Structure 1
Amino acid sequence: MYKKLADTISTIISVQNISEERKTILQPLIDFIQQKTDNKQEININFICTHNSRRSHLSQVWAQVASAYFNIPNVHCYSGGTEETVLFPKVAETLINQGFNIFKIAESNNPVYAVKYSDNALPVIGFSKKYDSPFNPVSAFTAIMTCSQADGGCPFIAGAEKRIPITFEDPKISDGTAEQTQVYAKRSLQIATEMFYIFSKISQ
Structure 2
Amino acid sequence: MNLYPTLQPYIEKAQALPISEDRKAVLQVLIDYVQRKVDQNQEINLNFICTHNSRRSQFSQIWGKVAAAYHGIDINSYSGGVEVTAFNERAVASIKRFGFKVSKEGESNPKYFVFYSNDEDPIVTFSKVYDDAANALYGFAAVMTCSHADENCPFIPGAEVRIPVRYEDPKAFDDTDQEAEMYDTRSLQIASELLYVFSRIKR
TM, length-normalised to structure 2: 0.98
- The CA distance in 1 between the partners of 2:72 and 2:98, in whole Å, is 21
Partner of 1:147 in structure 2? 146
Q: For 1:142, what is the secondary structure of its paired residue?
A: strand
Q: What is the correspondence of 1:4-153 to structure 2 with a 5 Å cutoff?
A: 4-13=6-15, 15-73=16-74, 75-104=75-104, 106-153=105-152
SS at match of 2:202: coil
**Aligned-pair Cα RMSD in Å:** 0.7
SS of equivalent residue, structure 2 residue 79:
strand
**Counterpart contact for 1:16–1:197, Cα < 8 Å:** no
Deviation at 1:10? 1.5
Residue 3 of structure 1: SS of its match in structure 2?
coil
Task: State the Cα deviation string for residues 51-95 of structure 1 (Å, max 9, x = none).
Answer: 00000000010010000000012x000000010000001111101
Please list the CA deviations of residues 141-197 of structure 1 after superposition, one character each: whole Å capped at 9, or x if unmatched.
Answer: 000000000001101000000000000000000001010000000000000000000
**Mapped partners of 2:147, 2:11: distance in 1:** 27
Residues in 2 aligned to 1:46 and 1:94: alpha-carbon distance in whole angstroms = 21
Q: How does the TM-score come out when normalised to structure 1?
A: 0.97
- Offset at residue 108 of structure 1 (A): 2.7
Q: Which amino acid aligns with 1:7?
A: P
CA distance in 2, matches of 1:97, 1:44: 27
Unpaired stretches in structure 1, ≥5 consecutive residues: none
Preserved CA contact (<8 Å) 1:142 1:161: yes
- Secondary structure of 1:25's partner? helix
* Identity percentage of aligned residues: 48
